[in-house]
């Protein structure tokens, strides 16, 4: 295989193959699980149209069934889990079946959670096809479905057999989806890798021109940050929490409009800027560093401010964050560029001031 392999330290260690090819997954699975096993591909209709044939080219020696899940965040649901169970049983799946999750974070989270509970657990491979899934959701073993009471409320830490990343799938990804992944990549750079931030700044135009070579490098570096953080802290007791940078503020913006009319990347972008202002107020960032972040986000067309919002409502919404502890808001702030810090003593007044900086 060409490309790069990074191993994730975990209770069940697994490799992340960066720059793999879809049609070569079959060869890898033959050596890993043996030929002839039953595979269950779970994917979306559009992703399937683009990539199922290529994937299946390499799976000739396996028994393969495909389950198609409609697109959208709403499909990360208990109802869909139940449907997948019926369909899997109808295809003769058992606990030796291996699930192949071909898609973005929705498919990865849903198929991964399904694999974790079907007959008390079967193996699965993450095959991410969005930038966000490549650099973020496919790595780290978090799988989940949503519930009326909240996003990702029912889930598990359930490491995959492997992550198989074919960068060529990015060629068909709409730019808006690419931006969601770029926001997470910038987040990785700010909390853990200043060189990555410099790389993004230097190559911003080529990234926007969607040069494939650039995405290989960008995505590999960003994935490496995620691998490093989850390897040090699989179950999110310490450094893995850095990955929440921009998300406490961002989720409040998304929740306030019931996840309609703002993308995740836009929420994270504004959220990162708000948290950076709070970091500046605490002396953790210079004004130059905050400006550097703002300039980069703006350069990609990501928003850094939001119009006509009530900061009190948004601050209250932050109170529902799963990361909070005993009623205290837990926030991740950047410490300069390239390091993060978790704070557990943020008060609502300074959070309100941070909102004021990003609300027009
Ligand atoms: N498990 C984790 O650690 C983790 C981390 C971050 C986000 N997430 C979850 O990830 C989800 C968001 O993932 P996402 O941003 O990948 O969105 P997504 O999975 O909804 O994919 C976005 C859209 O792009 C389409 N698509 C996917 N690949 C494509 C391709 N190669 N070409 C063309 N279209 C393609 C999909 O069909 C979909 O319509 C959320 O549910 C979020 O909760 C999980």
Q: What is the pLDDT of residues 164-177, one digit of tens each?
A: 999 999 999 999 99
177 lines ligand 1 (CB under 6 A): yes
Non-local (6+) Cβ contacts of 148 within 8 A are none
Q: How far is CA 215 from the centre of its chain?
A: 16
Using one digit for the tens of pLDDT, what is the confidence trace for 66-91?
999 999 999 999 999 999 999 999 99
Mean pLDDT for the chain overall:
96
85 marked among binding-site residues: no
CA 87, CA 111: separation in Å to the nearest integer?
13
Instruction: Write down the pLDDT at residue 272.
Output: 98
Question: Is 184 annotated as catalytic?
Answer: yes
Q: How far is the CA of 104 from the centre of ligand 1 (A)?
A: 3
343 marked among binding-site residues: no
Using one digit for the tens of pLDDT, what is the confidence trace for 320-338?
888 888 889 999 999 999 9
Is residue 247's pLDDT more than 70?
A: yes
| Residue 238 pLDDT class (50, 70, 90 cuts) | confident
Question: ∠ CA(173), CA(275), CA(332), 5° rounding?
Answer: 85
51, 52, 137: which to mutate for ligand 1, most atoms within 8 A of CB?
137
58 lines ligand 1 (CB under 6 A): no
DSSP string, 157-220: E---SEEEE-GGGGGGS-HHHHHHHHHHHHHHHHHH-HHHHHHHHHTHHHHHTT-HHHHHHHHH
> Which atom of ligand 1 is found nearest the CA of 142?
1
Instruction: Write down the pLDDT at residue 244.
Output: 96
| Residue 283 pLDDT class (50, 70, 90 cuts) | very high
CA 305, CA 291: separation in Å to the nearest integer?
13
Among 108, 82, 102, 120, smallest CA distance to 39 is for 102
Using the CB atoms, write b or e for 158-168: b if 16+ within 10 Å.
bbbbbbbbbbe
Find residue 145's DSSP bridge partners.
Answer: 154
| Residue 258 pLDDT class (50, 70, 90 cuts) | confident
Q: Are 144 and 109 in contact (CB under 8 A)?
A: yes
Q: Identify the three-state secondary structure at position 80.
A: helix
Catalytic choice (24, 75, 177, 184): 184
| Residue 260 pLDDT class (50, 70, 90 cuts) | confident
| Residue 1 pLDDT class (50, 70, 90 cuts) | low
236 lines ligand 1 (CB under 6 A): no
Q: Identify the three-state secondary structure at position 333.
A: strand
Instruction: Write down the pLDDT at residue 241.
Output: 94
**How buried is 91 (Cβ within 10 angstroms: 0-12 exposed, 13-18 middle, 19+ buried)?**
middle
> Which atom of ligand 1 is found nearest the CA of 107?
19
Non-local (6+) Cβ contacts of 207 within 8 A are 182, 200, 214, 215, 218, 300
Q: How far is the CA of 71 from the centre of ligand 1 (A)?
A: 9
Is residue 229's pLDDT more than 90?
A: yes
| Residue 149 pLDDT class (50, 70, 90 cuts) | confident
Find residue 103's DSSP bridge partners.
Answer: 128
104 lines ligand 1 (CB under 6 A): yes
Using one digit for the tens of pLDDT, what is the confidence trace for 180-226?
999 999 999 999 999 999 999 999 999 999 998 899 999 999 999 99
184 marked among binding-site residues: yes
CA 135, CA 115: separation in Å to the nearest integer?
21
| Residue 347 pLDDT class (50, 70, 90 cuts) | very high
Percentage of the chain beyond pLDDT 90 is 91
Which domains are delineated in the chain?
4-172 (3.40.50.1970), 175-358 (1.20.1090.10)
Find residue 42's DSSP bridge partners.
Answer: 67, 101
Instruction: Write down the pLDDT at residue 320.
Output: 83
Non-local (6+) Cβ contacts of 138 within 8 A are 16, 105, 108, 126, 127, 128, 160, 163, 165
Is residue 13's pLDDT more than 80?
A: yes
CA 304, CA 104: separation in Å to the nearest integer?
25
């Amino acid at each position: 295989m060409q490309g790069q392999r990074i191993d994730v330290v975990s209770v069940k260690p697994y490799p992340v193959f960066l720059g793999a090819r879809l049609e070569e997954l079959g060869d890898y699975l033959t050596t890993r699980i043996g030929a002839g096993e039953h595979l269950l591909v779970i994917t979306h209709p559009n992703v399937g149209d683009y990539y199922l044939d290529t994937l299946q080219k390499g799976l000739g020696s396996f028994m393969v069934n495909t389950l198609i899940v409609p697109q959208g965040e709403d499909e990360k649901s208990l109802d869909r889990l139940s449907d997948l169970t019926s369909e899997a049983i109808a295809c003769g799946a058992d606990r030796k079946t291996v699930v192949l999750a071909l898609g973005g974070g929705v498919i990865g989270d849903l198929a991964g959670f399904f694999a974790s509970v079907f007959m008390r657990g079967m193996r699965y491979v993450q095959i991410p096809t969005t930038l966000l899934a490549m650099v973020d959701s496919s790595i780290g073993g978090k799988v989940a479905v949503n519930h009326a009471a909240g996003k990702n409320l029912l889930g598990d830490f359930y490491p995959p057999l492997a992550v198989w990343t074919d960068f060529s799938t990015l060629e068909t990804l709409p730019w808006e989806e690419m931006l969601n992944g770029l926001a997470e990549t910038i987040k990785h750079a700010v909390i853990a890798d200043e060189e990555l931030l410099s790389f993004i700044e230097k190559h911003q135009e080529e990234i926007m021109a969607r040069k494939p070579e650039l995405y290989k490098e960008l995505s590999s570096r960003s994935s490496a940050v995620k691998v490093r953080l989850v390897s040090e802290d699989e179950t999110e007791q310490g450094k893995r929490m850095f990955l929440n940078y921009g998300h406490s503020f961002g989720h409040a913006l998304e929740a306030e409009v019931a996840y309609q009319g703002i993308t995740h990347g836009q929420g994270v972008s504004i959220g990162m800027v708000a948290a950076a202002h709070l970091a500046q107020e605490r002396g953790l960032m210079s004004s130059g560093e905050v400006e550097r972040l703002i300039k980069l986000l703006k350069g990609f067309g990501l928003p850094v401010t939001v119009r006509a919002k009530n900061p009190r409502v948004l601050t209250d919404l932050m109170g529902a964050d799963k990361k909070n502890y005993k009623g205290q808001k837990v926030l991740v702030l950047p410490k300069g560029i390239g390091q993060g810090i978790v704070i557990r003593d943020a008060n609502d007044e300074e959070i309100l001031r941070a909102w004021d900086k990003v609300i027009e």
